[in-house]
Every structure is written in C-alpha cells, then in structure tokens.
Amino acid sequence: MRIACVQLNIAFGNPKENFRKVEEKIRKAAMLNAEIVVLPEMWNTGYDLTHLEEIADINGEETKNLLTGLAKELQIHIIGGSVSTKKDNHFFNTMYIVNNTGELIAEYDKAHLFKLMDEHLYLAAGSNKNIFTLNDVEMGGVICYDLRFPEWFRMHSLAGAKVIFVPAQWPATRVDHWKILLQARAIENQCFIVAVNRVGDDPNNSFNGNSMVIAPWGEVLWIGADEETIGLVDINIEEVEEVRKRIPIFKDRRVDIY
C-alpha cells in the first residue's frame, strides 16, 4: 500500500490559496502512483481562529466537494487531514475520509482541544471515534493533540485499526514530544502510524514538519524535513499481524482490573 504524506505550508486565513495548493498536491500524489494521500491539520484556514465566522467551511461543503471530486477522478483514497468547519452554529476541527470512488466514508471532529492554541475558546469538541475501511483494511484517524491521549489510540486499535493517521499542526518547540509519542503509539498499539505535520509559520507559532510513517515494531520508515514535500512510503499491512502474534499484548490485557 503506497501512502503519500503531503507536508505543506499553510496560508494563514486564506482558504482560496490553500484549496488551490491542496488540489495541486493531491494531483501530484496521484501522478506518483500513491493509493492513499494524507493532508495536515486545519489546512484550509490555519489557526486563524478569530476569523472563523468569515472563513470556516460551512458544513464542510467546499472541502467535501473538492476531495470527493478529486478522489473519483484520480481514483485515490484521501485522508483529508482536517479543516475548520461551521456546523449548526458551532465551529469544529473536522477530518473527512474519502475513498477512491469519491464516497465520503468517515467524518471526525477533533476530540481533544488544545488550550495552548486557544482551540477551546473557538471550537467545539467531538466525541466519536473514527474507524473506517480502505483497501479492505480497518484504519483510524485522530488529530494532533489527540496524540497525547494513549487511551484514545488504544480505543481505535481495539476497534480494529491497523493504520492510524495523525494530521497535525505541531509546533517546532515541542517536536521532540511529537516524534517520541508517535513511536510510542505505534509500538504500544502494534500498528502503523502515519503522521503528517505542516511546515512554515503563522503569527503565533513555527512548524518544522518532521512528518513520520512508523511501522508496528517502532521502525521509522520515513521522516520529513522542515520544508514542503510529498513523502512516499510503501507499507506492508501483514506486518501488523506478525507483530501482534509475536508479542500478543491484546490477548494479555487485564480487562478484569482496568
């Protein structure tokens, strides 16, 4: 399974430019024969939270139209990172998953809001896990700060996820946490982790990429630098079962005491 990780710089508060760039990158990923393309967090607006009333995607319609149209045309699965949306007079940080026939198969609102970037002041939190199937493989998707909650990842792996996607806008000042936690989540859940971070600056933070694809044994298969790029990685899903048989942590869990 070939995965394309789109590590890009996001134009702060400029949806028009960001939609243009994302379409360009998805088309390039398809030309590189990727089966799945993965976008970063809040790629439509960046963290321009004070202007969401003017720039958030109403019911995600513009995002869904773009992703479903491209997925069908290019016959590529799209992990839509996340975008700022307005639904029922509330704002959300929303991930859309579209399969290669252009069908929207999953939607997830970020469950854990990050107070250091003021998400809790502007956004509403989601409450549902995000499990879906691509290429007959169960997968999951979470967003950025969700990474710091191992129980949320475990819930997705217990629901069957063999690959968990993590789009993010993770600041450079804490990139060491990013890398260590991603490896830990892969090892403790014995699954592939595909994490796509942004690059560039906004008025409040700098972002230095370091997007990563990590195998179930904790091996780093690819890590991005600090510039825009599309990282291509081929993964073998059979590795998940091989690792889980070798150390059967799911069978050895003490569900009687925790």
Q: Is 41 a catalytic residue?
A: yes
Cα(100)–Cα(106) distance, integer angstroms: 13
Q: Of 21, 64, 138, 144, which is the active-site residue? A: 144
Residue range 40-53, pLDDT digits in tens: 999 999 999 999 99
Per DSSP, 198 falls in state: -
Cα(8)–Cα(64) distance, integer angstroms: 20
Residue range 220-244, pLDDT digits in tens: 999 999 999 999 999 999 999 999 9
Kindly state the tokens that stand for 87: 């639904």
Q: Is 5 a catalytic residue?
A: no
Cα(93)–Cα(95) distance, integer angstroms: 7
Q: Of 41, 107, 119, 138, which is the active-site residue? A: 41
Output the pLDDT for position 51. 98
Cα(111)–Cα(5) distance, integer angstroms: 23
Domains plus CATH for the chain? 2-252 (3.60.110.10)
pTM value surpassing 0.75: yes
| End-to-end Cα separation, the chain, in angstroms | 35
Residue range 107-159, pLDDT digits in tens: 999 999 999 999 999 999 999 999 999 999 999 999 999 999 999 999 999 99
Task: Please name the residue ranges forming H helices in 141-230.
Answer: 150-158, 175-189
Beta bridge partners of 167: 196
Q: Of 110, 119, 138, 162, which is the active-site residue? A: 110
pLDDT band at 164 (very low <50, low <70, confident <90, very high): very high
